[in-house]
Structure 1
Amino acid sequence: MIAPRLSAVDPATPALSPERQELRAAAEGFEAIMIRRMLESARASSFAEDAPLTGGGLKQFQKMRDEHFAEVASQSGAFGFARSIEEQLAQFVDGKG
């Protein structure tokens, strides 16, 4: 199982400047968007349309579940996109670039 690395609760995370906090939130948001799109694409290729109990309610539930999963996954660092994006852009926020 992947251990969650939530930045808000991780005591090993040093205090971040407001700019870095905004950068981290933006990177996590971007990762969540990427994960949602991946799930959406995977679901679009599903052949379950002919299965019973499919319809608008099920599709809405799946969309809400995918959105929640994407948010949790991006905050936990499970995919690592947000951390990579943050590290790449931090050099510009911290004045190193």
Structure 2
Amino acid sequence: MTTISPITAAGASAAAKPLDPRLKQAAQGFEAIFVRQMLASARKDNFGDTLWGSDQGHDTFTAMRDEKFADITAHSGTLGLAKQIEDQLAGKGSPAIPATGAKP
């Protein structure tokens, strides 16, 4: 059976260290862009919806609504993508490529 050691004071201070707010903002911005692209891709096909027709005002409103929804989603942390990006860029996550440069 494996025992779990308690967090030391040094480990706790490293874990509690706040990340750079610019990194958090950039990660949330990326997540918002990602969500906007997902919504735009989902709306490419209107599934035969001809109730409102196709006009510039409706398209603009839809784009603005999607943008606001994406920003709210990114800032709320609902998807968790921004947190994963932030952790990866801060060096908390596991690297995608080994540090030695060896091919997997």
RMSD, aligned CA: 2.1
Matched, 1:16 2:15: no
Size of the aligned set, in residue pairs, is: 77
Q: Tell me how far 1:56 sits from its aligned partner.
A: 1.2
SS at match of 2:90: helix
Q: Which has the higher contact order (CA 8 A, sep 6+)?
A: 1
2:52 corresponding residue in structure 1: 53
1:26 corresponding residue in structure 2: 26
Alpha-carbon distance between aligned partners in 2 of 1:52 and 1:24, rounded to the nearest angstrom: 41
Alpha-carbon distance between aligned partners in 2 of 1:65 and 1:42, rounded to the nearest angstrom: 14
**TM-score, length of structure 2 as denominator length:** 0.66
Alpha-carbon distance between aligned partners in 1 of 2:48 and 2:22, rounded to the nearest angstrom: 40
Equivalent AA in structure 1 for residue 56 of structure 2: G
Equivalent AA in structure 2 for residue 53 of structure 1: W
Q: Specify whether residues 48 and 68 from structure 1 end up closer, same or farther in structure 2 by C-alpha distance, changes over 3 A only.
A: farther
Could you tell me which runs of 5 or more consecutive residues in structure 2 were left unpaired when the two chains were aligned. 1-15, 93-98, 100-104
Q: Which has the larger radius of gyration?
A: 2
2:63 corresponding residue in structure 1: 63
Alpha-carbon distance between aligned partners in 2 of 1:86 and 1:48, rounded to the nearest angstrom: 40
Identity %: 42
Q: Tell me how far 1:26 sits from its aligned partner.
A: 0.1
**TM-score, length of structure 1 as denominator length:** 0.70
Alpha-carbon distance between aligned partners in 1 of 2:72 and 2:64, rounded to the nearest angstrom: 12
Alpha-carbon distance between aligned partners in 1 of 2:85 and 2:46, rounded to the nearest angstrom: 30
SS at match of 1:91: coil
Alpha-carbon distance between aligned partners in 1 of 2:17 and 2:75, rounded to the nearest angstrom: 17
Equivalent AA in structure 2 for residue 52 of structure 1: L
Alpha-carbon distance between aligned partners in 2 of 1:80 and 1:48, rounded to the nearest angstrom: 33
Comparing both structures, which one devotes a greater share of its residues to helix?
Answer: 1
Alpha-carbon distance between aligned partners in 1 of 2:44 and 2:52, rounded to the nearest angstrom: 17
